[in-house]
Amino acid sequence: MTADPQAQDDDDLYDLIVTPYDIRGLFRAEVDPGLAYRVGAAFTELTGAGAIAVAHDARESSPCLADALAQGVLDQGADVVDAGLGSTDYLHYVSGRLDVPGAMVTAGRAPAPYNGIRLCHAGAVAVDESTGMERLRRRLRQPRPPLTECPGSVVPSRDLTGYAEHLRALVDLADIRPLKVVVDAGNGVAGLTAPLVLDHPAVELVPLHFELDGTFPHRAPDLEDVSGLRERVRETGADLGLAFDGDGDRLLAVDERGATVPAAAVIALVARRELARRPGAAVVHDLVTATSAVEAIKEAGGIPVRSRVGPAAIKALMAEQDAAFGGGHCGHYYFRDLWYADTGMLAALHLLAELGESGAELSELAARHDGYACSGAIDVPVPDPLAALQRVVRHFAAHGTDLDHLDGVTGELADGARFNVRVPGTGPVVRVNVEAGTVAAMGRLRDRVVDVVVSAGR
C-alpha cells in the first residue's frame, strides 16, 4: 500500500504553519476557513472546555476565519463566547475574567496576506509546545472528530469597555500634567482600543492611522518602520509617541525627539512603578533584556528573574514566581493584573503616568537606563542552526568564557560583555544578540560571534 500523497501534503502543511506558539500562514493557501474549523474542533476536544472565547483582529480575512473556528467549537458541543473584534490582550482579558480558554484570530505582526490563530487555556494561560500545541498538531493530522448531537450556543460577550476600564483602574493618572501623545495604530485594532484606554482629560491624543484597514496601507503591522510616528511627534511638539502592532498588544515608544525608547528603559520605568505597589516582588525578564533593566529592578527593590525568550516562557515563570511584572526585549510587557498576559496598552498607561508625574522629558527618563550598547537582534542564515550553536559553544568554552544554556547559549566575558545565540524557530537561522559597556566593545564581540556562527556553515 502506498502512502496517501494528500495526507503527506497535509502533514507538511501542519509542520509549516503550526509553530511552537501559534498557527500562522498565508490566507487561503495555508490558513483557510476549513483549517480554522478543524482548529476550533480540535482545541475544544483537547481542552474539554464547555465554552471557548473567540475574538479576531481587523485583517480582511479574520471575520470568516473566526466564524469557521467558532463553528468547529459549536459542533463539538461547547459554547462560543463571542468576544468580537479586538486586540489580543483584549481576548486575554476575556479569557481571564471568564476563566475560559480563548482563540484569537490574528497573524500578529505578519504582513497583510497572512493570518493565523493564537490559543490560550482558561485564565489566559498561553498554549505552547509543552502545553498543547504539539498535541494540537497531532490531532489536526487525524480525521475530524464526529459532530455532537447537542451543538453549543453562541454567547455574545463583546466587552471592550470592560477591558478598558480594567486597565485604566490599574494606573492612577489623577495628578499628571497635560501631555500631547501621538498614537500610531498602523490601521490595526489599536485604532479601536487606544481611544478607550488612553482617554484622559490631561491627555491630548493625536491619532495616526486609526482607521481599521486590514490591508495595512500606511505601514506594515510590525513595528520596523515607524517613521511616520517620529515625524508626527516632531511636527506637533508631542511629549511622546506610541506605536502598536497589528493585533494591538506590542508597544514601541518614541520620545519627544522621535527617538526610540529602548524596551529595557520601558521595562525599567514600568518595573519601578509596579514594585512601588508590590515591594520586593519578582520581575521576570528574558535573557536578552539589557543589563540596565536588571539593574533598575534591583535598585527598585525587586527580584529580577531570568527567563527564556517568548511569551509562553515568560508567562509561565511569572505565574511560578508570582511576579508583578515581566518584560521582553522586543516590546512585550506582561502584568500579573492581566493574568500574566502581555499588554502594550497597560505599559503605555504607565508611561503616561511616569512622564506626567515626573516633569522630565521622556528622553531624560530613558537616558537613566541606557548605560549599555546593544546590537539588537541579528539573524544569521546558516544551513544547520544546531551545528552553529555547537560551534559557538566550542569556540568560547576554549577561551574560558562562562556559558549557560537556558535558551540557546549565553556567554559572559571577563569585561562584562555578553552575548546570546539561539535558534528562534523561524527557519534556518540563528539569532545573535550582543551587549557591552561601549559601542566599540559591542561591535568587536558582535563581529566575533557572527564570524564563529558563519564559520559553522563553511
For 338-356, what is each residue's pLDDT tens digit? 999 999 999 999 999 999 9
Mean pLDDT (whole number) for 136-148 = 91
Q: Residue 425 has what pLDDT? A: 74
Q: What residues have CB less than 8 Å from 124, skipping those under 6 apart?
A: 92, 93, 95, 96, 102, 338, 339, 340, 341
How many independent structural domains does the chain possess?
3
Instruction: Determine the pLDDT at residue 4.
Output: 35
Task: Examine the domain organization and report whether 422 and 285 are in the same domain.
Answer: no
Residue 259 has pLDDT above 70, yes or no: yes
CATH of residue 446: 3.30.310.50
Q: What is the DSSP pairing of strand 125-126 with strand 402-404?
A: unpaired
* DSSP three-state, residue 87: coil
Residues 6 or more apart from 56 whose CB is under 8 A from it?
A: 62, 63, 65, 66, 84, 85, 86, 104, 105, 106
Evaluate the CA torsion angle 285, 224, 59, 143 in order and state its sign: negative
Q: Of 334-338, 369-373, 388-392, 406-410, where does mean pLDDT reach its minimum? A: 369-373
- The answer to whether the CB of 73 falls within 8 A of the CB of 52 is yes
Question: Which residues are CB-contacts of 307 (< 8 A; sequence separation ≥ 6)?
Answer: 284, 285, 286, 287, 313, 314, 317, 326
> Which domain range does residue 252 map to?
159-368
Confidence of residue 458 (pLDDT cuts 50, 70, 90): low
Residue 427 has pLDDT above 90, yes or no: no
Q: What is the pLDDT of residue 456?
A: 67
Query: Worst-scoring range by mean pLDDT, 11-20, 102-111, 116-125?
Result: 11-20
Cβ–Cβ < 8 Å for 348, 97:
no
Are residue 86 and residue 191 in the same domain, yes or no? no
Neighbours of 121 (CB within 10 A): 18
| Mean pLDDT score, 304-327 | 95
Q: Do 409 and 332 share a structural domain?
A: no
Residue 405 sits in the same domain as residue 441:
yes
- Shared-domain flag, residues 269 and 171: yes
pLDDT surpasses 70 at 6? no
- 180-202 pLDDT, tens digit per residue, is 999 999 999 999 999 999 999 99
258, 323 Cβ separation under 8 angstroms:
no
For the segment 162-177, the average pLDDT, to the nearest whole number, is 97
User: Looking at residue 118, which CATH number applies to its domain?
Assistant: 3.40.120.10
**Strand order, beta sheet including 303-307:** 303-307, 282-286, 325-327, 333-335
Whether residue 5 is predicted with pLDDT greater than 70 in this model: the reply is no
Convert the pLDDT of each residue in 59-87 to its tens digit. 999 999 999 999 999 999 999 999 999 99
- C-alpha span between 419 and 413 (Å, rounded): 9
Over pLDDT 70: what percentage of the chain? 97
Do residues 150 and 164 share a domain?
no
In the listed set 158, 176, 211, which residue is the last one of a domain according to the structure?
158
Among 368, 396, 418, the domain boundary falls at 368
342 and 299 in one domain?
Answer: yes
Do 22 and 118 touch, CB atoms closer than 8 A?
yes
Let me know the angle formed at the C-alpha of 110 by 316 and 30, rounded to the nearest 5 degrees: 95
Claim to verify: residue 231 and residue 328 sit in the same structural domain: yes
133 and 116 share one domain? yes
| Contact (Cβ atoms closer than 8 angstroms) between residue 238 and residue 181 | yes
Name the average pLDDT for the chain.
95
pLDDT of residue 158: 95
**pLDDT at residue number 457:** 59
**How far is CA 458 from each of CA 159, 329, 452, rounded to the nearest angstrom?**
55, 31, 10
Range scoring the smallest mean pLDDT among 19-23, 38-42, 77-81, 302-306: 19-23
Best CA proximity match to 192, nearest among 180, 204, 168, 209: 209
Rounded mean pLDDT, 213-219 = 97
Check residue 11 and give its pLDDT.
66
139 vs 25: CA distance, rounded Å: 18
Asked which of 368, 401, 419 is the last residue of a domain, the reply is 368
Tell whether 36 and 57 lie within a shared domain: yes
Q: Are strands 203-208 and 179-184 parallel, antiparallel or unpaired?
A: parallel
pLDDT at residue 199 in the model? 96
Residues 77 and 141 in one domain: yes
**Which helix (DSSP H) or strand (DSSP E) does residue 334 occupy?**
strand 333-335
> b/e string for 143-175 if b means 16 or more Cβ within 10 A?
eeeeeeeeebeeeebbbbeebbebbbeebebee
Give the mean model confidence (pLDDT) for residues 102-120: 97
How large a percentage of the chain has pLDDT more than 90? 90
What integer is the mean pLDDT of 379-395? 95
pLDDT greater than 70 at residue 2? no
Examine the domain organization and report whether 217 and 340 are in the same domain.
Answer: yes
Question: Residue 295: what residue type?
Answer: E
pLDDT for res 130: 84
Residue 58 pLDDT greater than 50, yes or no: yes
C-alpha cell at 326: 515581566
Q: Residue 84 forms beta bridges with which residues?
A: 55
